[in-house]
Amino acid sequence: MKKPILLLFLSTALIVHAQTIQHHDYVTHYNPALKEPDSVSWYLTPAMVSCAHPMGRTNRFAADPQIPGSPQPSDYAVNHGVPRISWIDLGHLFNAEDAACDRQFNDECYYTSNMLPQYQSFNQGDWKSLEIQEQVWAKTRTLHIIAGGIGSRGRLPGGENIPKYMYKAIYINGQWTCYIFPNDPSSKGHGYAPWQRSKQELNTQTGLHL
């Protein structure tokens, strides 16, 4: 069954730019000026992490058919001739493993409207550690998760903004638990716990009103 649209309370500045697009398992608030989502939100349920035959990664990245002009996966092909420490990944917000129980839902999670440019060592390091923990928590309860980027480290050649920081807000046990990670090659090997921040700090940095 298709989930209801998740509503985020955003500052006026963000509302002006964002297009809200509902997919089956997640909602993206897409910012055409930055060529990326301001945020992506979803519910992670016990059923989504307990299917009998979860699908592996497909890496079938694609432009979002609901967003004209959304980035092409080729826009992220920027690692040739670059030192490995500076490699950029197509970094999921709504995690691919969260959509492993349904082929259509899994295909949708590879849309570029669900991606932000992340340094590979961070994407596969501290960011990944929180994705793994979310799956553990979701085995026994439903989580509400919001993820996005903050600030800028520059742009890809195709115009996509490279966030300076990445954040997640997770509603669990009746309260929001928030994390702000540096989108930096050094953000690996620490786990997720050192990056926990207050809800007030996240609201200030993002314009969210959690």
Q: Which amino acid is at 187?
A: S
CATH 3.40.570.10 fits 12-55+68-206, yes or no: yes
Q: Express each pLDDT in 149-177 by its tens digit.
A: 999 999 999 899 999 999 999 999 999 99
Q: Is the pLDDT of residue 8 over 80?
A: no
Look at strands 175-182 and 196-197 and give their pairing: antiparallel
Q: Is the pLDDT of residue 15 over 50?
A: no
Q: Please state the domain extents for the chain.
A: 12-55+68-206
User: Which pLDDT score is estimated for 12?
Assistant: 33
The helix or strand, by DSSP H or E, that contains position 105, with its residue range, turns out to be helix 103-108
Q: Which of 100, 108, 32, 98 is nearest to 64 (CA)?
A: 108
Q: Which of 140, 53, 49 is nearest to 95 (CA)?
A: 49
Q: Is 129 helix (H, G, I), strand (E, B) or coil?
A: helix
Measured CA to CA, the distance from residue 149 to residue 198 in angstroms comes to 16
Q: Express each pLDDT in 69-119 by its tens digit.
A: 899 999 988 888 888 888 999 999 999 999 999 999 999 999 999 999 999
Measured CA to CA, the distance from residue 39 to residue 147 in angstroms comes to 5
User: Which pLDDT score is estimated for 17?
Assistant: 62
Q: Which amino acid is at 163?
A: P
Task: Answer for the pair 35, 160: CB distance below 8 angstroms, yes or no.
Answer: yes
Cβ neighbours, 10 Å, residue 113 = 26
Task: Answer for the pair 105, 51: CB distance below 8 angstroms, yes or no.
Answer: no
